[in-house]
Chain A
Amino acid sequence: MLTHDKTSRNLWLAMGGLLVLATVLPNWLSFITTIALSKGLVVLGLVLLMRTGLVSFGQGLYYCLGGYVVGISGSHWGITDVALMLAISICVALVVSALLGLLLCRYREIFFAMLTMAFSMILYGVLVKSEIFGSTDGFNIAQVSLFGWSPAVENLGLCVYLLTVVISISILQLLHRYVRSPFGYAGEAIRENEIRVEYLGVSPKQVIFLKYVIAAVLASIGGALTALVSGHVDPEMAFWTTSGEFVFIALLGGTAHVVAPLIGAFIFEIIRTFAFDLAPNSWQMILGGALLLIILFLPKGLWSLLPARKEGDQS
């Protein structure tokens, strides 16, 4: 079953394809792709929660934390190694989400959504008041290196692109297994009927806690990669509109398959880029219109455009 998995094979092919494309993609497109994959990772975490029946309006919290940890470890702690930066980002997200998760796993529906949003807005408030981190302006990311090798500034974007492709596709591979595992199904079981899960001897709170932590780690990786490719972090990353954007992308892509959030994120970035180009003052209207059309005609997201797969092939 594992060895003949079509999605798994296609993901490796996609990874190879994206790596080869690096040589021909124009800079702007590889930049958008990097951003899309990074945001896609955040949305992937959000989708895991949504499959469990919970909508987080505060993934910006970990997205921002991930970005700021990369920035701070470069400019304040003198760390330049990307791998180390990512590792610290993940650790910070683990610690923070483990603490908040203890509280959040007791809440459902709108209460969960509002609380997650409140926590991200607290971080936003703190960062806006922190002059040492550039207040509302944020600050720039210092020169980075990977295992002792520092890419030239003009090649940095390309390097981050390659890194993001490798990381995001690897994570997709893991999550593709994950959603079909007993723990993955536990989420759907909780969404469908929490009482039954409890009577099957499993604690829904524990499952939700772990899923929240996983989603937080994914968001922090996404935030760290975004910081690396854009070379800048600011408190907007924790603002509720950023978290809302992730929910937007999740709806756009759909929750039926692990690849959907990444495709959704890519389409979102493309629409936004062209909408901004077309209507610099009212680009949000184009995005809003796009979301409206999706909700009206494709309530299960763009993924539902694909013909239904055979049983066993589905995630």
Chain B
Amino acid sequence: MTAILQTRGLTKSFGAVTAAANINVVVNEGEIVGVIGSNGAGKTTFINMVTGYLKPTEGEVLFRGKNITGLSPRHVTRFGVCRSFQVAQLFPELTMTENMLIACRMLSGKRLTGFAPLKTKESLQVAKNELDSYGIGGYADAVVATLPQGVRKLLDIAMAMVGNPALLLLDEPTSGVAIDEKFGLMDTVMDAVARSGAASLFIEHDMEIIGRYATRVIAFYDGHIIADAPTAEALAHPDVLQYIVGTQLHRQPAESHDHA
């Protein structure tokens, strides 16, 4: 397998606080990596550094062997690294279709022209198909500010995916989504990722979701990586049990059957 993303000694300090220290991560083509860790462990800081939103204090980020450290988010995006956000970053006063149209047009890399309309028969059809493929086409004409949280999260991810990225970074795709909707949302997203063949790295707090979708897990604790292994192995790692998952909460399947 070839590495699509590699970070070497990535470190970020905010004054005396070290949010991430010596992060070495490799993501291979087509791989689905889950990232776990308690709040403040440095997961989002990691994504922010990879996508250029934060400049690392030290270390480097390689995308397909090319050094992309310190590039701005828009340059990183053009390399084919897209991300979604913990809190959906949308254009709230515009309609869902308009959000999607803008994303399609901007990510296409074509110059933004000032004469031909954004809304044409073709572009509207493309946007509609995109929204439909995430199962949110029914809200197409609704203003985003009025949408339920789960739909907003899906739109946020859909807008990151329309550029056909080679690597998709999902920052807590299911946060703020009702428990019984989480799996549906993740199925939709992971289907889309599988269709596109992109590699994906997602931050998640729900261990059931991690267990179901991730092939490998990276565990963060206090700015450090404490485990990086295939899912089952990582979740059974003593440090992960102690600091993140917790032994009490990590019930054995037999035990949970008793309660059910």
Determine whether the beta carbon of A180 is less than 8 Å from that of B78.
Answer: no
**A to B contact number (C-beta, < 8 Å):** 102
Q: What total of chain A residues lie within 8 Å of the partner, measured CB to CB?
A: 28
What B residues does A185 contact at CB under 8 A?
Answer: 98, 101-102, 105, 118
Task: Kindly state whether residue A272 has any CB partner on chain B within 8 Å.
Answer: no
* Interface 9-mer from A111-119, A145-153, A189-197, A283-291: A189-197
Nearest CB of chain A from residue B37's CB, rounded to whole Å: 23
Task: Kindly state whether residue B12 has any CB partner on chain A within 8 Å.
Answer: no
How many angstroms between the C-alpha atoms of A185 and B117 in the bound complex? 10
Task: Kindly state whether residue B227 has any CB partner on chain A within 8 Å.
Answer: no
Q: What 1/0 flags go to B152-181 for Cβ under 8 Å of A? A: 000000011001000000000000000000
* Interface 9-mer from A25-33, A81-89, A95-103, A200-208: A200-208
> Which residue from A183, A188, A193 sits with its C-beta under 8 Å from B112?
A183
What B residues does A201 contact at CB under 8 A?
Answer: 74, 77-78, 106-107, 109, 163
Determine whether the beta carbon of B106 is less than 8 Å from that of A202.
Answer: yes
Using a CB–CB cutoff of 8 Å, the interface residues on chain B facing chain A are: 51, 53, 72-74, 77-78, 82-83, 89-94, 98, 101-103, 105-107, 109, 112-121, 141, 159-160, 163
B-facing residues in A181-223 (Cβ within 8 Å): 181-186, 188-189, 192-193, 195-203, 207
> Which residue from B78, B103, B109, B117 sits with its C-beta under 8 Å from A1?
B117
What A residues does B159 contact at CB under 8 A?
Answer: 196, 200
How many angstroms between the C-alpha atoms of A189 and B98 in the bound complex? 10
B-facing residues in A1-50 (Cβ within 8 Å): 1-2
Determine whether the beta carbon of A186 is less than 8 Å from that of B112.
Answer: yes
Task: Kindly state whether residue A311 has any CB partner on chain B within 8 Å.
Answer: yes
What A residues does B77 contact at CB under 8 A?
Answer: 198-201
Task: Kindly state whether residue A178 has any CB partner on chain B within 8 Å.
Answer: yes
Task: Kindly state whether residue A312 has any CB partner on chain B within 8 Å.
Answer: yes
Determine whether the beta carbon of B113 is less than 8 Å from that of A183.
Answer: yes
> Which residue from B78, B89, B114 sits with its C-beta under 8 Å from A183?
B114
Q: What 1/0 flags go to A159-183 for Cβ under 8 Å of B? A: 0000000000000001001101111
In the complex, the chain B residue whose C-beta lies closest to that of A174 is B115
Nearest CB of chain A from residue B105's CB, rounded to whole Å: 5
Determine whether the beta carbon of B72 is less than 8 Å from that of A1.
Answer: no
What B residues does A192 contact at CB under 8 A?
Answer: 90-94
What A residues does B93 contact at CB under 8 A?
Answer: 188, 192
Nearest CB of chain A from residue B106's CB, rounded to whole Å: 4
What A residues does B115 contact at CB under 8 A?
Answer: 174, 177-178, 181
Determine whether the beta carbon of A203 is less than 8 Å from that of B118.
Answer: no
